[in-house]
Amino acid sequence: MRLLGNIIWIVFGGWAIALEYIIGGIALCMTIVGIPFGVQCFKLAILGFAPFGQIPESNSLSGCLALPLNIVWLIFGGVWLVLTHFICGIFFCITIIGIPFGIQHFKLMGLAFAPFGRTL
């Protein structure tokens, strides 16, 4: 079921989400200050490419920088990512067939809200 869900996800727009995160990650990694944020974009790209069967989990070894970095992430772009995934999730959940894909957008929304200190 995971394979079929991921194939359908990729065909109907998952590749675009992953590509956006990859482009954002590359742009952020071009600066020294943006490298930690670019790495988080690559993490989101992996989940955006194939979300079925992957569960983001909290990492207790993330250290004390996770909270301040998540705040900076949220202020400078995370809000828009969260809103985008929320709106896409709502639109997918309108139909019965789209509910699993809406749930995956809500999972991406949770990771886009606070990516630091989380692992896949």
pLDDT in tens, the chain (120 residues): 788 888 888 888 788 888 888 888 898 889 888 888 888 888 888 888 888 877 777 776 567 777 888 888 888 888 888 888 898 889 888 988 888 888 888 888 888 888 887 777
Q: What is the pTM of this model?
A: 0.78
Q: Would you say the C-alpha torsion 64, 68, 69, 70 has a positive or negative sign?
A: positive
Using only C-alpha atoms, what is the Rg of the chain? 14
Task: Confirm if 14 and 48 have CB atoms less than 8 A apart.
Answer: yes
List the domain boundaries for the chain. Answer: 2-119
Question: Residue 118 carries which DSSP code?
Answer: E
Rounded Cα distance between 88 and 77, Å, is: 17
Helix (H, G, I), strand (E, B) or coil at 14: helix
